[in-house]
Structure 1
């Protein structure tokens, strides 16, 4: 009976408190809520025996990618997948590769070091973490970017800071060096979002040995690249950023893109293919640059296509007062009509290549390609920005011999002399020569006939086909076809176009 009366009295008291609370002014409610939200987390933190470390995917203000995030991802993939129940699998571009298995979001795993237990969780971007695990005991969980959260007991703080986390970094470097996969990056942007890098595995087949270029010129380029790789102390001594710029210029089909692949193979660097038309403004360009890694090649192809627009505006457009536009002219204008200020300027690009921001990082190679070097702004290609200008010229005898070795597996032939003379007399690109050296016409017919007459395994058929393709008769036909093509090109170059003939005829008639 006494117990019942006690509960009745307690209920009446609570009802009174509720009535009193409802009669209080609104500002009292707000102050009370503020006090509760400030004091309760402090009290919980005092009694909570655990601490946490957050490893965000991006650094402060999400301006630069946090390499520690990549280190933790690699370490957990190698050490803690066995205790995980939620995983994600990805397959690279190469069919023979094993699937890449990684932790799924909101998955918690446990790691140990010297008897100390560490809890890791991958928290998704802009998602509030909830659950019954030990990580959810922490107060003040708010929406935040994608991150890893490490939880450990307070008594293990020094072990985590001085031994565990440095060990993760060392393990990450070992695994990265062991499982090195060269990557090709490109930037893309979605509507309303900033441009970001995405990557695919990059294994270009081109090497300097297969590059259709004179031997002496290839040796000069390779020596220059070697000197750059070993130039850390030199650049530090002279006070310059450890970078180098290469301008590849020449007609289409002369091997500029192939040269980039050969440089990537030679240096073993990743390649960043920068599309300026997808970049909103100079600030976004700087962010993309900061997200590139050391030991990388940053490529802007066909820079002349952008510079045509630049040169036109620079020469033709004047300000309201009649003066020429200043040097901060527009380099790229996006087609976004809702934002007229979306632009990349020449000064922004120069800062990216050789300004203040170029010193943020080291061992980077900048490569610009162009079909029309005369259209480029001198400020963009001066020494110090584009340190070495490499002309990718038309195919001559030395370059042809490289192609003949690659495509026909021959080093000498009676037609080499005639082909060399014709190449000197015509402007033929290595791409056109290579196209003539690829046997195509009869190969399909030979395959069908070979399968009909040979009674053997698929391996025997393939072996006989490869031998047949390498026969001297096939090389003779390919080279003879190339000679005819070059002769035809020589005749066409010597014959004036029809419109020129008509113009001259009209002039004679008028005279």
Structure 2
């Protein structure tokens, strides 16, 4: 007993001596010791801890690039593990008529079994520490500044099973689910604090090629071209080109360019990315947005000659006379949206340079009302593979509109309408406005009669001399 007391007294004296010695040491020694201890603690805990973890963050390391794996895990857990969860949250799906969409709530842990192995999943909220005595919360490494994420915890001996079988199975099931229940989405880029990312809404365009006010043979030609593109993966690989295609839609306002894009999305069942160039800071931001687009998508820049963007060509020094020097062409943002600049060289690289190879099965669409304002380098063949003119409404296009809006294919007024359409330039939107049923329902006869009167007035207005000529004649 006396020996034990002497040992404790000796230990106490040793600790007191160590404390005195520690207090006499310089501050840099204290800091170095703390650093060594802080680095050793996780190693010691990892040695004794039989579990490992994988974090699936909602965004990439730069916090604005969406992590598709996060969506895959969310979809898988919603199908496989909801029965074991006590905390859920409900949302409406892409369509208000759908059943409620049930997901895991934050800080909810669920257990999944795969080939006899137990996997623990937990949805960790953004910038919040894990709470509660769970398998995942007992592990080191939680941080206050992490984005929303899923944490997967498993036994060390299951590492190969998780990496080689379990996670690939989750990705395969996710792809099968989205292929079966695919809801087309319309994306647009959003910028905040110098960073850009995509946001989306459900996209259900009603337009089809049968509804477009175009010559039927032209519609068939475009559909055949899209069909050939969709099955041309091996061909593009064979010739060494990225699996992408460019369409340039040009024509007066109201001729159906946006409707054409909707018809293409319906025909191919692709998502649409509506790119707002004016909100992009520079070429690097443009490339990052492109890398975050999905395959099987249509990337659109509408009214590329307008929308607060002044398309100008600037050439420097002796190269000013070279017409095909793309590297010095610049798209300058307007002064009221002066956030930087996107060079035309950067835009061309986005469409037809190195970057389109980072993905597959994408279609690029440019639209404009004024083709003469664009630099030829932007729309040359090879970048924009097909140039499609969306022209004024002629008789063949009118018949398609009459079929769509009034469900008629013949009428006694068709001959007169066809003659008037050949004599004046009017857009399909103007013709459709007269054919569309109003609040007070009108019969087809009334709609066509009103259309005839409208076209006659337009013809008379077009034939009338300009007001300046009338004033000059009066003065003479």
TM-score computed with the length of structure 1 as normaliser: 0.85
Match of 1:330 in 2: 330
- Once the two structures are superposed, what CA deviation does each residue of 1:220-267 show, in whole Å capped at 9, x if it has no partner? 100110111111111111111100000111111101010000000000
* 8 Å Cα contact 1:307/1:376 also seen in 2: no
Is 1:71 aligned to 2:72, yes or no?
Answer: yes
Query: How far apart are 1:421 and its partner, in Å?
Result: 0.4
Distance 2:377 2:319 in 1: 24
Residue 293 of structure 1: how far off its partner (Å): 0.5
1:110 Cα deviation after fit: 1.2
Assess if the C-alpha contact under 8 Å between 2:330 and 2:345 holds in 1: no
State the shift of 1:19 in Å: 3.8
* Counterpart position of 2:239: 238
Secondary structure of 1:420's partner?
Answer: helix
Partner of 1:491 in structure 2?
A: 460
1:481 equivalent to 2:450? Answer: yes
Distance 1:24 1:377, change over 3 A: same
Q: Which residue of 1 aligns with 2:298?
A: 297
Give the aligned CA root-mean-square deviation in angstroms. 2.7
Question: 1:192-244 CA distances to partner (integer Å, 9 max, x unpaired)?
Answer: 14111011111100001111111011001001101111111111111111000
Aligned to 1:55, what secondary structure does the other structure show?
strand
Residue by residue over 1:299-340, the C-alpha shift from the partner in whole angstroms, topping out at 9 and shown as x without a partner, is 0000011697223x638xx77x99689843431426578xx7
1:84/1:7 Cα in 2 relative to 1: closer, same or farther (>3 Å)?
farther
- Give the 5 Å matches for 1:283-362: 283-305=284-306, 309-311=310-312, 314=314, 327-333=327-333, 342-362=340-360
Q: Distance in 2 between matches of 1:141 and 1:334?
A: 45
Q: 1:125 to 1:385 in 2, by over 3 A?
A: farther
Alpha-carbon distance in 2 for matches of 1:120, 1:436: 59
Residue equivalent to 2:137: 136
Indicate yes or no: 2:404 matched with 1:406.
yes
| Counterpart selection for 1:435 from 415, 433, 444 | 433
| Gaps in structure 1 of 5+ consecutive residues | 444-468
The CA deviation at 1:100 is 2.1
> Could you tell me how far apart the structure 1 residues matched to 2:146 and 2:437 are?
58
CA distance in 1 between partners of 2:381 and 2:420 (Å): 36
Alignment check: 8 A CA contact 2:205 2:266 kept: yes
C-alpha separation between the residues in 2 aligned to 1:479 and 1:7?
A: 108
Distance 2:34 2:238 in 1: 60
- Provide closer, same or farther for how the CA distance between residues 288 and 18 of structure 1 changes in structure 2, counting only shifts above 3 A: same
Which position in structure 2 is the counterpart of 1:86?
Answer: 87
Over 3 Å counting, the alpha-carbon distance change for 1:378 and 1:322 in structure 2 is closer
State how 1:415-494 maps to structure 2 within 5 Å. 415-440=413-438, 442-443=440-441, 474-494=443-463
8 Å CA contact retained: 2:278, 2:308: no
Range that drifts further, 62-71 or 199-208: 62-71
* 1:81-133 deviation digits (Å, cap 9, x = unpaired): 22223333332453212222222333222111133110112233444445432
The worse-fitting range, judged by mean Cα deviation, of 141-150 and 198-207 is: 141-150
Preserved CA contact (<8 Å) 1:229 1:363: yes
For residues 435 and 257 of structure 1, the distance between their equivalents in structure 2, rounded to whole angstroms, comes to 17
Match in the other structure for 2:248 = 247
Residue in 2 aligned with 1:451?
A: none
Give matches, 1:23-102, under 5 Å: 23-59=24-60, 61=62, 64-92=65-93, 94-102=95-103
Gaps of 5+ in 2: none
Q: Aligned pair in 2 of structure 1 residues 7, 51: CA closer, same or farther (>3 Å)?
A: same
**2:152 counterpart of 1:150:** yes
> Conserved in 2, the CA contact under 8 Å of 1:336 and 1:342?
no
Give the match's secondary structure for 1:310. strand
Deviation at 1:27, TM superposition (A): 1.1
Contact 2:60–2:67 (CA under 8 A) maintained in structure 1: yes
- Match of 2:98, SS? coil
Range with greater deviation from structure 2 (93-102 or 164-173): 93-102
Aligned length: 471
Higher helix share: 1
In 1, distance between residues paired with 2:32 and 2:405?
Answer: 81
Residues 130 and 142, structure 2, Cα contact 8 Å, conserved in 1 = yes
Deviation at 1:71, TM superposition (A): 1.4
Q: 1:375 to 1:398 in 2, by over 3 A?
A: same
CA contact (8 A) 1:286 1:357 kept: yes
1:443-486 Cα distance to aligned partner (Å, 9 max, x none): 3xxxxxxxxxxxxxxxxxxxxxxxxx6xxxx1111111100000
- Counterpart check, 1:178 vs 2:180: yes
TM-score normalized by structure 2?
Answer: 0.91
Stretch moving more, 90-99 or 291-300: 90-99
Partner Cα distance (2:111, 2:438) in 1 = 59
Report the more deviating stretch, 157-166 or 173-182: 157-166
Alpha-carbon distance in 2 for matches of 1:293, 1:344? 22
Q: Do the aligned residues in 1 keep the contact of 2:421 with 2:455 (CA within 8 Å)?
A: yes
Output the CA distance in 2 between the equivalents of 1:491 and 1:119.
Answer: 77
Is contact 2:255-2:427 (8 Å) kept?
Answer: yes
Deviates more, 1:33-42 or 1:138-147: 138-147
Contact kept in structure 2, 1:307 and 1:377, CA below 8 Å: no
Q: 1:216 to 1:395 in 2, by over 3 A?
A: same
Q: Aligned equivalents of 2:336 and 2:367: distance in 1? A: 27
| Distance in 2, Cα, partners of 1:186 & 1:437 | 32
Distance 2:460 2:163 in 1: 76
Tell me: CA distance 1:118–1:93, structure 2 relative to 1, closer, same or farther (3 Å): closer
Pairing partner for 2:392 from 391, 394, 398: 394
**C-alpha separation between the residues in 2 aligned to 1:379 and 1:475?**
47
CA drift at 1:14: 4.9
Shift of 1:56: 2.9
